[in-house]
Each structure stands twice: as structure tokens, then as C-alpha cells.
Structure 1
Amino acid sequence: MDVLLHFFVALHIIGIASLLGGFLTQMKAMSAGTARFGPAMLHGALLMLITGMILVGINEAQGHALNHIKIGIKLAILVVILGIVYVKRDEEKAEKGLFAAVGALTTLNVFLAVLWV
């Protein structure tokens, strides 16, 4: 079961890398006003959502104590990120504020995951 857990943790990290990497690679374009939400950002957010739910399920099945408040807050942040990226995915240009919000919320989610024990 530990191998399965670690496999989904790795997929979760790949999703974070895809979402945050898509943001970071377009920071220069964001300052020029030409950034857009690419498919990698959408797929990364979806991968984070799916693997996050699987990780919660695996940990619950193993009887581990989980911080449901932390999980709920991280889920709410991810749903906001996913909603923004999904709705704005076909637009040629993303507003600077929304694009920056996705990057900030993604970074916040990473810090919540690592620092909130």
C-alpha cells in the first residue's frame, strides 16, 4: 500500500509542477499582458484534484489521522484555481490580476501543504 501511496504523491507533485511551471514560464508574458492559461495548467490542476482525493482516500483507508480542516482549505483553494483556469482557458489573453491570483493561490497551497502540520 505504501508503494501506491508514494505513486500518487509523485503524481500530485507532477500536477503541482505543471500548474506552477505554467505560471512561472509566463511571468514575463504576464507583465506584457499576453499571458494565457495553457493546457498544462488545466491538466496540472485536474491532476492535483484527482490525486489529492485519492491520497485522502488511501490515508483514510489505512486509518491515519488526517487534518480535515487543512484538506478542506486546500481543496477550496484548488477549486478556485481550477475554476479560473477552466473558465479562462480559451481566451487569448488572461487578465494580469487573475493570472497572478492563480500563481499566488498555487504557491499558497504548496506552503499550506508543507508548513501546516
Structure 2
Amino acid sequence: MDILHNVLLVLHFIGIGSLLGGFMTQMKQLKPGTAVVNAAMFHGALTMLVSGLLLVATTYMSGEGDYVNNAKIGVKLAILIVISVLVIINRKKATVPSGVIGAIGGLTVVNIILAVFWK
């Protein structure tokens, strides 16, 4: 079960990198009216969502569910759902407002901060 947990954790990190990298790419070339939700953001958000849920599930299945901070997981899941909805709604649009891109990136950073500092 440890190998599966570690593989899922690596996938979760890859999803974070993809989502944050897609955001940074948009910030680098951001001019008014040119922002888009790129494929990296879409696939990163979905990878984070699926791998995060499977990480929690495997933790419970291994009998270590007593050590899961359910409040933290709930808050992080809620933020990730908002990110995913923003990405899915805006991924087919030719351009999106810079505030949407900023919200996606900002919420991603908030999720990372919660993962690191909320014990």
C-alpha cells in the first residue's frame, strides 16, 4: 500500500506542477484580452482532484484513517473544486478575463500553502 500511496503522491505533485506551470505561462505572456486556460491547467486540475481523492481513500483503506485531518482535506477539496470549475468552464473560450487566471493561480498557491503549513 505504501508504493501505491507514494505513486499517487507523485501524481499529485505532477498535477500541481502542471496547473501552476500553466498559470505561470499565462502570466508570462499576459496582455489584455490574451489569457486562456491551457491544457496544462485542465489536466493538472483533474490530476490533482483524482490523485488527491485516491490518496485519502488509500490512507483510510490502509487503516491509518485516524491520522487524516478531515477539516484540512475538506477545505483543500473545496478549493480544488472551485479551481476545477473555473478551469472547465473557461477552457474552451478563446480568451478569459485576467481575473479568472489570477483566481486559478491564487487558489492553487493557497492550496499548496494549506498543504504545507496546516498540520
TM-score, normalised on structure 2?
0.94
Q: Which residue of 2 aligns with 1:102?
A: 104
Structure 2 counterpart SS, 1:33 = coil
2:72 partner SS = helix
CA contact (8 A) 1:38 1:89 kept: yes
What letter matches 1:109 in structure 2?
N
Cα pair 1:36 1:93 within 8 Å, conserved: yes
User: Structure 2: how far apart are the matches of 1:115 and 1:58?
Assistant: 22
Q: 2 CA distance for matches of 1:11 and 1:36? A: 24
1:41 is the counterpart of 2:41: yes
Q: Please report the RMSD computed on the Cα atoms of aligned residues, expressed in angstroms.
A: 1.0
Whether the 8 Å contact between 1:74 and 1:109 is mirrored in structure 2 is yes
Superposition misfits of 4+ residues, deviation over 6 angstroms: none
Q: Which of the residues 62, 68, 71 maps onto 1:69?
A: 71
Number of residue-to-residue matches in the alignment:
117
For residues 39-95 of structure 1, give each alpha carbon's deviation from its aligned partner in whole angstroms, at most 9, with x where no partner exists.
111111001010001000111112221000000000000000000010000111110
For the residues of structure 2 that align with 1:72 and 1:17, how far apart are their CA atoms? 21
Q: 1:111 aligns with which of 99, 104, 113?
A: 113
1:25: Cα distance to partner?
1.1
Point out where structure 2 has 5 or more consecutive residues left out of the alignment: none
Query: Aligned partners of 2:87 and 2:58: how far apart in 1?
Result: 28
Unpaired runs of at least 5, structure 1: none
* Whole-angstrom distance in 2 between the partners of 1:48 and 1:74: 11
| Equivalent in the alignment of 2:5 | 5
- Does the 8 Å CA contact 2:20/2:108 hold for their aligned counterparts? yes
- Counterpart position of 1:20: 20
TM-score using structure 1 length: 0.95
Are positions 1:57 and 2:34 aligned together?
no
Query: Contact 2:32/2:98 (CA < 8 Å) preserved in 1?
Result: no
